[in-house]
Amino acid sequence: MRSERHDGRRPIVAVTSAGATRDGNAPARPRKNRTFLVLNIISIVAGIAIWWGLSLAGLQFPTPAEVVSAAWKMIQDGTLATDVGASLGRVLAGFALGSVAAVIVGFVMGWYTAARGLFEPWIQFFRTIPPLAMLPLVLVLMGIGESPKIFVIFLAAFLSCVISTYQGVVNVDKTLINAARVLGAGDGTIFRRVVVPASTPFILVGMRVGLGSAWGTLVAAELLAAQAGLGHRMQSAQLYYDLPTIFVGIIAIGVLGLIMDRLLMIAGNKLTAWQENR
């Protein structure tokens, strides 16, 4: 349907289509979500069944029942809550700081050519160095405490997210920017109304990658320098060949990472509701 509205200067034309309305797509999305949820459940059940089968086949795996029993003991004595709290606090601190810094630096690099020339060589240099390789130096400089662990997590999240943000800015369609300039928009308006929305999907992808890097770095950091945390608990269990406790730590990290990733996806879907997805 085609409609015209006059604002005193020129007609503004709005084109709508019944097939493009939100209501037209409403029935399809819940059905898609239900199908996706069913597939998730099937996948989890199948994974547990395979795990149980491998443990019964003679491999040195604890059964799911043994892992549940170990988890229940850790819940009762409070060690699981303590370890989860310690690890989650470190990840949230390092990931949040790294993501914020990455978004700021990525936007600056993508928007200003001079900043790109200054920052990019150093970012590419440090991207080739695993954050854990920096841990011995960080421990010497910062000492044994929370700061070195949070710093290496920050570094892992930052390096994973900054390039994605930068690519999002430089990949903004030039036609959109030129059209905004023709309509009289200044650089600030273009940045807020065009560049930031168009870069948001790239930022969210970078944050999801950075989240995985943050968890991987956390575990290794706790293996080397921690008195509490899931990584520390798994290292202690290794000394006593306590496989169920090791599996509890692995599953706890996976579940926490999955929950955080899903929260990022939900936030991303709301922030990019304008974008068509398959």
pLDDT score at 89: 92
Cα-Cα-Cα-Cα dihedral of 245, 247, 249, 253, to 10°?
Answer: -170
pLDDT score at 260: 92
pLDDT score at 13: 41
CATH 1.10.3720.10 assigned to 64-271: yes
pLDDT score at 81: 92
- What are the tokens at 149? 């662990």
CB contact at 8 A, 167 and 195? no
pLDDT score at 274: 66
pLDDT score at 8: 46
Cα–Cα distance measured from residue 260 to residue 134, given in angstroms and rounded to the nearest whole number:
26
Give pTM, 2 decimals: 0.77
**Sequential pLDDT tens for the chain (278 residues):** 444 444 444 444 443 444 444 444 445 566 777 887 888 889 989 988 898 888 888 778 888 888 999 999 999 998 999 999 999 999 999 999 999 999 999 988 888 888 888 988 888 888 888 877 887 888 888 877 788 888 989 999 999 899 888 888 888 777 777 787 877 777 777 777 888 888 888 888 889 999 988 988 888 788 766 678 888 888 888 888 889 999 999 999 999 999 999 898 888 888 777 666 55
Q: Could you state, in order of their start, the residue ranges of all structural domains in the chain?
A: 64-271
Number of residues written out for the chain: 278
3-state SS of the chain is CEEEEECCCCEEEEECCHHHCHHHHCCHHHHHHHHHHHHHHHHHHHHHHHHHHHHHCCCCCCCHHHHHHHHHHHHHHCHHHHHHHHHHHHHHHHHHHHHHHHHHHHHHHHHCHHHHHHHHHHHHHHHCCCHHHHHHHHHHHHCCCHHHHHHHHHHHHHHHHHHHHHHHHHCCCHHHHHHHHHCCCCHHHHHHHHHHHHHHHHHHHHHHHHHHHHHHHHHHHHHHCCCCCHHHHHHHHHHCCCHHHHHHHHHHHHHHHHHHHHHHHHHHHHHCCCCCCC
